[in-house]
Chain A
Amino acid sequence: MQNGSIVVALAGNPNSGKTTIFNDLTGMRQHVGNYPGVTVEKRSGVVNHNGHRIEIIDLPGIYSLTAFSEEEIVARNFILQEKPDVIIDVIDSSSLERNLYLAVQFLEIGIPIVLDFNMADVARGKGMRVDIGLLSELLGMPIIETVGSKGKGIEGLLDAVIEVTGKKNRKRIEIPYVEEIENAVEKIIPLLEVENDGMLMKRWFAVKLLEQDEDVANRLREKNGRGFEKLQEVVSNSINHIKDVMGVSPDVLIADSRYGFIKGALHEAHQEADSGNIDITEKLDSILTNRLLGIPIFAFIMWLMFQFVFTLGQYPMGWIETGFEKLSTLLNGIISNGIMRSLIVDGIIGGVGGVLVFTPNIALLFFAIALLEDSGYMARAAFVMDRVMHRIGLHGKSFIPLIIGFGCTVPAYMSSRILENKKDRLVTMHINTFCSCSARLPVYILLAGTFFPAIAGNVIFSIYLIGIFFAVIMAKVLRATRFRGELEPFVMELPHYRIPTFKGALIHTWDRIWMYIKKAGTVILLISIAMWGLFTFPMIGEDDYSGDYISQKKEIEESYQAGDISAESYSEQISEIEGKMNAEKLEFSAAGRIGKFIEPVFRPLGFDWKMVVASISGIAAKEVVVSSFSTLFSIGGVDETSESLRDRIKNSYHPLVGYNFMLFTLLYFPCMASMAVFRREAGTKEMLFQIFYTLGLAWVVCMIVYQIGKFFI
């Protein structure tokens, strides 16, 4: 108990509702989803209850105290090293026997436990009956029933926490093991040099050694020092002896005893459901995970998702666009100072507005992903894709981070923690960038809408498909070169389907949208202003133009006054000259010079310096590609003409180049923020590899596309 507050860990099997309970307890809004492995990091929050300050820590789900994947290590280390005062073990009541397996292990390490029988509604719906009082007595732990998704039973949970912390001599139940195990445990205990502080008991260490838990062995190697060799010898002798006598290894016997203890308790206090009722999950699964239909259905769902995002998003997008255009026109009239006007209209409204326009699409995308996550389909997608993923040297579980990557690559990198094997994890992270994130969507919508207005939805979908294609290819390449190795076999629990709560999906969507808007108002605002500065300064002087445009303009003026040319031809000629002047003005600016300098590298791709500058600025965040484009074409536009941004872009490039630019945006690494996370998760070397190989790939692919495409245009 640090400075008077009680530290409570929320632990339990994956997908049992820990984060839901955490949100109920603390009023926070951490991400909840219906598949195992949503939470991959610990999160803490505080609640005050009856004068006690309680610090709650939400942990990733675990099946046992032997950790396999990165996120399980987070949970296990918190429990074993930071030793919370109380563990609330969140249990899926509809699957008690398996969930209690972990509870029994908590019992053995001696930290006070409160059992939270969550999903009580589901259990009841299945017709299960539990005698809570009796079971609590048999297991020696208080039990509270809750329905996390409806916020029921939360108070009781807090009362129970305070009660167990106050209790001194708690009754401690020991799991009885078979005789051979008990004998071995007795032999091992005297050799252990760990302090028996009543928490991590020697008995638990001994049992773990017999289970051949590598992590516990390593821990003891440190603590026991020289005595460790003796200990190791005794342990391995015991294991061999048990194998000889019993014919199975100790871990099987230990697991059997634990399940035996649980079954014994449940036998008395629990009534199973009368089976035979139709299982909706199984019915749905027989279609959705069908051998033949599974993949086509998955592809259709993805297609539907992008159509939904693009088609439905178009209307509100149009309204916001019109709004910003009106605002620009209005401000153009009000602000008289040329530079100020350009900063506000071209730089800020062009840049930030250019990004905000896509808010509805981003909202729809995150809403769609939230539905996928909440319904339980996510885990099925992993299953369905297992066969495909196998061909490229990954397994189905890798698909979960990949799908999350369609929203944002940062949580996707985090989510790859659920992969148990380090190489699987690195390959998955390295290919995640090809699952095009939502920040790139604005680039596609802008360019596809500009160059291919009639079939924009399908063009965008094609970009996504190409992304998946490269994910597959690169996975295969990486697997064959840098990350060779055995494929880890996988087993995953499939959650029951659940009708997604509209409210939950909306809340999640709103959180993401708010992040997007905040980002537009901060990072993107700053970068837009900086980019505007780079596009504007140094300003071109009259002498710096390549031709004497001023006198040319004067001549035209004069001949018009004299009646030599018609009004039509007059304005045509004038705007032609102004167009030239604007182009030179931009090229004279800092950004123009940098772009011009690098342009030769990108010329084989068909890009001009503006595209180069937009791509470079996109390293900060992919949305900035759009904002830079908007600012560029806004500054470059001739004031009098009412050409829209789209028309200006359309008149500047061939559609092939437009498409190629989308490809380039798709293929190079996502953004600075994501690279920081990449570094934290995988190290500097891997991050640098990611940056350079994606840039190289993007360049090569786009070069080939342009060089071949050139012949057809």
Chain B
Amino acid sequence: MFGRSKRIRRTTGRYGSMTLAYAVPGKKYRIIGIAGGCRLSGRLYAMGVMPNEIFTVYTYSRGGPMCITLKGTKYAIGRGMTERIFIEEA
């Protein structure tokens, strides 16, 4: 029971939506926000990972790192980072 409530808290962060950690291959998602301060988000923007961009997941492991394709560029997103990117289905 506690495990469940914990999980809900984790999936729905401050943007009231799910994090990248819960994305699955085969669906399209839109980025809606990045948590973790200006430094980190600035970094991601410069790399092209921006709010409103659409992406797909192609390698996935729950709780582990992920590979995503965004505008033809592939990114490896480490564990920990996946929980800071908020997304919604597009």
Using CB atoms and an 8 Å cutoff, list the residues of chain A in contact with chain B. 63-64, 66, 68, 94-95, 97-98, 101-102, 126, 211-212, 214, 249, 251-252, 255-256, 259, 273, 279, 281-282, 285-286, 289-291, 379, 382-383, 386-387, 390, 395-397, 487, 489-496
Beyond A97-B71, A252-B41, A387-B65, whether A286 also contacts B76 by CB under 8 A is no
CB < 8 Å neighbour of A493 from B45, B61, B75 = B75
Q: Does B8 contact A (CB under 8 A)?
A: no
30 contacts between A and B (CB under 8 A): A66-B43, A68-B43, A94-B72, A95-B48, A98-B48, A98-B71, A98-B73, A101-B48, A251-B45, A252-B45, A252-B51, A255-B46, A279-B69, A282-B58, A285-B59, A285-B67, A286-B59, A289-B59, A291-B60, A383-B59, A383-B76, A386-B79, A397-B78, A490-B81, A491-B81, A492-B78, A493-B74, A494-B67, A494-B76, A496-B74
Beyond A489-B36, A493-B73, whether A255 also contacts B61 by CB under 8 A is no
Residue of A nearest to B74 (CB): A494
Known contacts A249-B38, A289-B59, A290-B59, then 7 further A-B pairs from the complex at CB < 8 Å, ordered by chain A residue: A64-B46, A95-B48, A273-B72, A386-B65, A386-B76, A395-B79, A492-B78
Q: Does B49 contact A (CB under 8 A)?
A: yes
Smallest Cβ distance from A233 to chain B, in angstroms?
A: 18
Residues of A within 8 A of B75 (CB): 491-494
Q: Does B84 contact A (CB under 8 A)?
A: yes
Contact between chains at A286 and B73 (CB < 8 Å): no
Q: Is the interface of B mostly helix, strand, loop or mixed?
A: mixed
Q: Does B24 contact A (CB under 8 A)?
A: no
A249-B40 Cα distance, complex, nearest whole Å: 13
Residues of B within 8 A of A387 (CB): 61, 64-65, 79
A495-B76 Cα distance, complex, nearest whole Å: 10
A382-B76 Cα distance, complex, nearest whole Å: 9
A382-B78 Cα distance, complex, nearest whole Å: 10
Contact between chains at B46 and A489 (CB < 8 Å): no
Q: Does B16 contact A (CB under 8 A)?
A: no
Residues of A within 8 A of B44 (CB): 491
Residues of B within 8 A of A282 (CB): 58, 69, 74
Smallest Cβ distance from B14 to chain A, in angstroms?
A: 13
Contact between chains at A63 and B43 (CB < 8 Å): yes
Residues of A within 8 A of B78 (CB): 386, 390, 395-397, 489-492
Using CB atoms and an 8 Å cutoff, list the residues of chain B in contact with chain A. 36, 38-51, 58-61, 64-65, 67, 69, 71-81, 84
Residues of A within 8 A of B43 (CB): 63-64, 66, 68, 491
A499-B67 Cα distance, complex, nearest whole Å: 21
Contact between chains at A493 and B47 (CB < 8 Å): yes
Residue of B nearest to A102 (CB): B46
Smallest Cβ distance from B56 to chain A, in angstroms?
A: 9
Residues of B within 8 A of A259 (CB): 50
Residue of B nearest to A382 (CB): B76
Smallest Cβ distance from A412 to chain B, in angstroms?
A: 20
Contact between chains at B64 and A491 (CB < 8 Å): no
Residues of A within 8 A of B69 (CB): 279, 282
Contact between chains at B42 and A211 (CB < 8 Å): yes
Smallest Cβ distance from A184 to chain B, in angstroms?
A: 15
Contact between chains at A95 and B59 (CB < 8 Å): no
A252-B35 Cα distance, complex, nearest whole Å: 12
Residue of A nearest to B80 (CB): A489
Residues of B within 8 A of A273 (CB): 72
Contact between chains at A492 and B76 (CB < 8 Å): yes
A592-B38 Cα distance, complex, nearest whole Å: 63
A494-B78 Cα distance, complex, nearest whole Å: 12
A101-B48 Cα distance, complex, nearest whole Å: 8
Contact between chains at B38 and A212 (CB < 8 Å): yes
Beyond A286-B59, A386-B64, whether A379 also contacts B47 by CB under 8 A is no
CB < 8 Å neighbour of B59 from A94, A256, A291 = A291
A63-B67 Cα distance, complex, nearest whole Å: 19
Beyond A494-B75, A494-B76, whether A286 also contacts B61 by CB under 8 A is no
CB < 8 Å neighbour of B49 from A68, A252, A491 = A491
A252-B69 Cα distance, complex, nearest whole Å: 21
Residue of A nearest to B40 (CB): A489
Contact between chains at B46 and A491 (CB < 8 Å): no
Residues of B within 8 A of A63 (CB): 43, 46-47
Smallest Cβ distance from A240 to chain B, in angstroms?
A: 14
Residue of A nearest to B85 (CB): A491
Residue of B nearest to A388 (CB): B64
Residues of A within 8 A of B59 (CB): 285-286, 289-291, 383
Residues of B within 8 A of A97 (CB): 48, 71
Smallest Cβ distance from B18 to chain A, in angstroms?
A: 17
Residues of A within 8 A of B61 (CB): 291, 387
Contact between chains at B74 and A285 (CB < 8 Å): yes
Residues of B within 8 A of A382 (CB): 76
Q: Rank and list the top 7 A-B pairs by shortest CB-CB distance, nearest first.
A: A489-B81, A64-B46, A98-B48, A490-B78, A63-B46, A291-B61, A494-B74
A462-B67 Cα distance, complex, nearest whole Å: 32
Residue of A nearest to B48 (CB): A98
Residue of B nearest to A66 (CB): B42
Most buried by B among A95, A386, A397: A386
A676-B44 Cα distance, complex, nearest whole Å: 35
Contact between chains at B42 and A64 (CB < 8 Å): yes
Contact between chains at B77 and A491 (CB < 8 Å): yes
Smallest Cβ distance from B85 to chain A, in angstroms?
A: 9
Smallest Cβ distance from B39 to chain A, in angstroms?
A: 8
Beyond A64-B46, A255-B42, whether A95 also contacts B73 by CB under 8 A is yes
A98-B69 Cα distance, complex, nearest whole Å: 13
Residues of A within 8 A of B46 (CB): 63-64, 66, 101-102, 255
Beyond A66-B43, A382-B76, whether A286 also contacts B58 by CB under 8 A is yes
Smallest Cβ distance from B46 to chain A, in angstroms?
A: 4
Residues of A within 8 A of B67 (CB): 285, 289, 383, 494
Residues of A within 8 A of B64 (CB): 291, 386-387
Residues of B within 8 A of A281 (CB): 74
Residues of B within 8 A of A255 (CB): 42, 45-46, 50
Smallest Cβ distance from A475 to chain B, in angstroms?
A: 16
CB < 8 Å neighbour of A491 from B38, B42, B76 = B76
Residue of A nearest to B73 (CB): A95
A390-B60 Cα distance, complex, nearest whole Å: 16
Residue of A nearest to B72 (CB): A95
Residues of A within 8 A of B38 (CB): 211-212, 249, 251
Residues of A within 8 A of B73 (CB): 95, 98, 493
A98-B71 Cα distance, complex, nearest whole Å: 9
A390-B67 Cα distance, complex, nearest whole Å: 16
Smallest Cβ distance from A276 to chain B, in angstroms?
A: 12
Residues of A within 8 A of B84 (CB): 489
A291-B45 Cα distance, complex, nearest whole Å: 27
A285-B66 Cα distance, complex, nearest whole Å: 11
A212-B79 Cα distance, complex, nearest whole Å: 26
Residues of B within 8 A of A285 (CB): 58-59, 67, 74
A273-B85 Cα distance, complex, nearest whole Å: 28
Residue of B nearest to A291 (CB): B61
Smallest Cβ distance from A421 to chain B, in angstroms?
A: 12
A110-B77 Cα distance, complex, nearest whole Å: 34
